[in-house]
């Protein structure tokens, strides 16, 4: 591992910064400072990640043996449902935008705060209220519909706490909408002088695209969940087959949001990778405009493909063909990003810091996740793979291999900025490698399991699948260790880590020009003025693009 060249050994923690201006609990819970709200989010999503991770480990434990010897079927159904609901609505969707985006977007655009600080705080409270409802649903007996709440099971037959869970997702949805709204207004209206659109960091572009999806997609799932809730309470409803209602219509409306939601989860990760790859290659990013516009393209085309979740749902075959074709289109902007990142690495002065290792992990795993998505987007193969472990492996490669890697990558990259302190580099790198190994051991066998035909969402399975399942469970325990280690050294670094100084990585971007951690209003010397492009690193001048 190379040493961190740019960090002066004598760096001292600044006397005053956003985290130590006031110390009371109220000063945190009533704060409107985007950085403090980001920390609130970081703590709360970590808690939910742990809860979701607990359910994941219960699932993997149960699947260690072919027989259902740990839980019965009903309990197992609740396990995977709560794992899904908590991980998606309370970890993945808010993770990068609400933590890193919240912390960094005002810094990156040179503003004192987000455009609507009170609304920002409100969205954290909405998130917490939604989260508490989810926990309440869990305590009262759980939910067993799967995170997708498919009708008519969810609306008519399920005997579990569907209404609470649906309300939880509904409220968390508005938290997500308000965060997106705040970001878009901030990016449009609060950029520093000289910070033109094409000088914006790609992290900001990615969040702009994410916010568009949050604003245009989330309300649709909100009203859909309202319809499910109404049908449960009222007894009669929109998706009720006895009235001529169509349960498949629920799937249309649900996936109209929930497929783009996949891009809510992955686009911010892509933004993080764009920052980290270029910093540790010491090289201007290759194809800035292509990466920027491919984010928007993913946001738009992502809305046109939802029907590929419904190939075997009695959706018309002709509609399926249209959706299948459009699904292949969305692979294009995703591939553009991967190619541009690899081109950025080419002839760069690459160093292997912990964030960079996570970034490498992201690129490789996301590529596998994306390519296996094409198998599922093709109607003929999807008939075979539908509802098997192949699907489970596919979306975990994108969500965990992509998004969680991206989150860990960003957290390690900006941790010195957020806390002003360094973490132990070697241990962090080892943890990154453990996560990578554990992840692949967990989920690659699931591709094979799915290919062999093991269906998802059962607590028992045929004995011939056991070897691969044992591998997967073993991998999960390694993965768990990999995720736990950063928890320890991050806590350690808060108290004992050496001071980072303003710019420990020698990175470009406005956020690195102010002290670490920043003061409450970010730039004490007044609003910064931007005179150069983003990523003006030493290698590959501006001629390398367009």
Least distance in angstroms from the C-beta of 100 to other proteins: 20
Indicate whether 222 belongs to the interface with other proteins (CB under 8 A). Answer: yes
Indicate whether 303 belongs to the interface with other proteins (CB under 8 A). Answer: yes
Q: How far apart are CA 146 and CA 127, in angstroms?
A: 21
Closer to other proteins by Cβ: residue 67 or 236: 236
**Of the candidate residues 177, 195, 357, 393, the single one contacting other proteins (CB under 8 A):** 177
Closer to other proteins by Cβ: residue 16 or 67: 16
Indicate whether 223 belongs to the interface with other proteins (CB under 8 A). Answer: yes
Half-sphere exposure of 432 (CA within 13 A, CB side): 27
Per CB under 8 A, which region of 67-75, 85-93, 105-113, 137-145 contacts other proteins? 105-113
Indicate whether 181 belongs to the interface with other proteins (CB under 8 A). Answer: yes
**Of the candidate residues 64, 129, 185, 427, the single one contacting other proteins (CB under 8 A):** 185
Closer to other proteins by Cβ: residue 61 or 185: 185
Closer to other proteins by Cβ: residue 325 or 451: 325
**Of the candidate residues 51, 184, 261, 368, the single one contacting other proteins (CB under 8 A):** 184
Indicate whether 259 belongs to the interface with other proteins (CB under 8 A). Answer: no
Indicate whether 298 belongs to the interface with other proteins (CB under 8 A). Answer: no
Which tokens is 226 given? 């309202």
Closer to other proteins by Cβ: residue 120 or 419: 120
Least distance in angstroms from the C-beta of 242 to other proteins: 6
Indicate whether 230 belongs to the interface with other proteins (CB under 8 A). Answer: yes
Handedness of CA 70, 73, 79, 84 (dihedral sign): positive
Indicate whether 319 belongs to the interface with other proteins (CB under 8 A). Answer: yes
Which tokens is 172 given? 């968390």
Tally of residues, the chain: 546
Q: How far apart are CA 438 and CA 481, in angstroms?
A: 9
Indicate whether 35 belongs to the interface with other proteins (CB under 8 A). Answer: no
**Of the candidate residues 16, 67, 188, 347, the single one contacting other proteins (CB under 8 A):** 188
Handedness of CA 443, 365, 147, 29 (dihedral sign): positive
Phi and psi angles of residue 182, each rounded to the nearest 5 degrees, phi first = -60, -45
Indicate whether 7 belongs to the interface with other proteins (CB under 8 A). Answer: no
Reduced to 3 states (helix: H, G, I; strand: E, B; else coil), residue 346 is: coil
For other proteins, how many residues bind (rule: CB under 8 A)?
61
Least distance in angstroms from the C-beta of 208 to other proteins: 12
Indicate whether 216 belongs to the interface with other proteins (CB under 8 A). Answer: yes
Closer to other proteins by Cβ: residue 196 or 316: 316
Q: How far is CA 10 from CA 20, 136, 219, 501, 528, in A?
A: 21, 49, 51, 9, 26
Q: How far apart are CA 484 and CA 506, in angstroms?
A: 28
Provide CB contacts within 8 A for 3, sequence distance 6+.
none
Reduced to 3 states (helix: H, G, I; strand: E, B; else coil), residue 499 is: strand
Least distance in angstroms from the C-beta of 409 to other proteins: 29
Nearest to 401 by CA among 424, 372, 430: 372
Indicate whether 253 belongs to the interface with other proteins (CB under 8 A). Answer: yes
Q: How far apart are CA 213 and CA 115, in angstroms?
A: 19
Indicate whether 521 belongs to the interface with other proteins (CB under 8 A). Answer: yes
Helices (H) and strands (E) in the chain, counts: 17, 0
* Peptide bond between residue 298 and the one before it cis (omega within 30 degrees of 0): no
Indicate whether 219 belongs to the interface with other proteins (CB under 8 A). Answer: yes
Q: Are 253 and 511 in contact (CB under 8 A)?
A: no
Residues 78, 98, 43, CA angle at the centre, nearest 5°? 65
Which tokens is 411 given? 């957290």
Least distance in angstroms from the C-beta of 27 to other proteins: 16
Residues that bind other proteins (CB under 8 A): 32, 111-119, 177, 180-182, 184-185, 188-190, 215-220, 222-224, 226-227, 230, 234-238, 240, 242-246, 248-249, 252-253, 256, 303-304, 306-307, 314-319, 322-323, 521, 527
């Amino acid at each position: 591992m190379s040493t961190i060249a740019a960090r002066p050994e004598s760096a001292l923690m600044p006397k005053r910064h956003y985290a130590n201006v006031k110390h009371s609990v109220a000063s945190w819970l009533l704060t409107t400072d985007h950085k403090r709200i980001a920390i609130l989010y970081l703590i709360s999503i970590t808690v939910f990640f742990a809860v979701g991770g607990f359910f994941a480990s219960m699932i993997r434990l149960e699947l260690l043996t072919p027989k259902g010897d740990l839980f019965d079927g009903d309990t197992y159904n609740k396990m995977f449902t709560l794992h899904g609901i908590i991980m998606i609505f309370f970890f993945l969707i808010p993770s990068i935008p609400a933590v890193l985006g919240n912390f960094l977007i005002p810094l990156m655009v040179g503003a004192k705060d987000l455009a609507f600080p009170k609304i920002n705080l409100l969205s954290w409270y909405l998130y917490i209220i939604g989260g508490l409802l989810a926990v309440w649903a869990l305590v009262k007996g759980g939910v067993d519909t799967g995170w997708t709440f498919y009708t008519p099971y969810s609306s008519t037959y399920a005997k579990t706490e569907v209404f609470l869970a649906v309300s939880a997702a509904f409220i968390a949805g508005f938290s997500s909408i308000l965060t997106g709204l705040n970001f878009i207004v901030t990016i449009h209206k609060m950029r520093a002088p000289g910070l033109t659109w094409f000088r914006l960091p790609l992290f900001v572009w990615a969040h702009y695209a994410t916010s568009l999806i949050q604003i245009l997609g989330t309300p649709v799932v909100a009203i859909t969940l309202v319809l499910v809730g109404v049908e449960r309470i009222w007894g009669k409803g929109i998706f009720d087959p006895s009235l001529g209602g169509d349960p498949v219509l629920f799937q249309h409306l649900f996936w109209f949001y929930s497929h783009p939601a996949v891009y809510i989860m992955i686009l911010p990760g892509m933004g993080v990778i764009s920052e980290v790859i270029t910093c540790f290659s010491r090289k201007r990013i290759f194809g800035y405009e292509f990466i920027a516009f491919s984010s928007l393209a993913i946001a738009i085309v992502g809305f046109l493909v939802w029907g590929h979740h419904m190939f075997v749902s009695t959706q018309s075959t002709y509609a399926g063909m249209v959706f299948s074709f459009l699904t292949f289109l969305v692979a294009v902007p995703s591939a553009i990003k991967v190619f541009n990142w690899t081109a950025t690495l080419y002839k760069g002065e690459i160093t292997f810091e912990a964030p960079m290792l996570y970034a490498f992990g992201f690129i490789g795993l996301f590529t596998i996740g994306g390519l296996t998505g094409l198998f599922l987007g093709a109607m003929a193969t999807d008939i075979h793979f539908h509802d098997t472990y192949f699907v489970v492996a596919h979306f975990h490669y994108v969500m965990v291999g992509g998004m969680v890697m991206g989150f860990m990558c960003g957290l390690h990259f900006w941790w010195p900025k957020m806390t002003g302190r360094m973490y132990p580099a070697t241990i962090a790198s080892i943890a990154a490698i453990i996560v990578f190994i554990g992840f692949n051991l967990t989920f690659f066998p699931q591709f094979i399991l799915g290919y062999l035909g093991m269906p998802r969402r059962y607590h028992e399975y045929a004995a011939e699948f056991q070897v691969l399942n044992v591998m997967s469970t073993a991998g999960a325990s390694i993965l768990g260790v990999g995720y736990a280690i950063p928890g320890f050294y991050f806590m350690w670094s808060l108290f004992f880590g050496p001071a980072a100084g303003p710019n420990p990585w020698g990175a470009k971007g406005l956020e690195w020009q102010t002290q670490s951690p920043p003061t409450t209003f970010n730039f004490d010397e007044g609003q910064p003025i931007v005179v150069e492009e983003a990523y003006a690193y030493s290698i590959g001048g501006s001629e390398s693009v367009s």
